[in-house]
Amino acid sequence: MPQQNDVKPGNNKLNPSALTVEMAAKMLGLPAEIVRKHIQQGMPTAEDGTINLISYGAWLNSKENYGN
């Protein structure tokens, strides 16, 4: 029996490992321009340009703690 949290193709659930710039910005309470600026500064994205929220957080943490 399917569970409520099962992800099926074509549904509208957010995938935190494949967010658009706009979705990531909205989730983080940031302007989309800040997210785009981070991408220009080297934040990793997938080949299709989507953002993994965990990778984004790790990248921000690295910048904060190590200046990389």
Give the pLDDT band of residue 64 (cuts 50, 70, 90): confident
- With a CB cutoff of 8 Å and minimum separation 6, the contacts of 34 are 25
Residue 27 in any domain: the answer is yes
Tell me the chain's radius of gyration from C-alpha atoms.
14
CA angle 27, 18, 26 (to 5 degrees): 15
Q: In a 10 Å sphere around its CB, with 0-12 CB exposed, 13-18 middle and 19+ buried, how is residue 49 labelled?
A: exposed
Give the pLDDT band of residue 51 (cuts 50, 70, 90): very high
Nearest to 17 by CA among 47, 38, 46, 60: 46
Residue 26 in any domain: the answer is yes
pTM over 0.85: no
Residue 62 in any domain: the answer is yes
Taking only the tens place, the pLDDT of each residue in 52-61 is: 999 999 999 9
Query: Containing domain of residue 37, as a range?
Result: 21-66
Q: What is d(CA 16, CA 66) in angstroms, rounded to the nearest whole number?
A: 25
Number of domains into which the chain is organized: 1
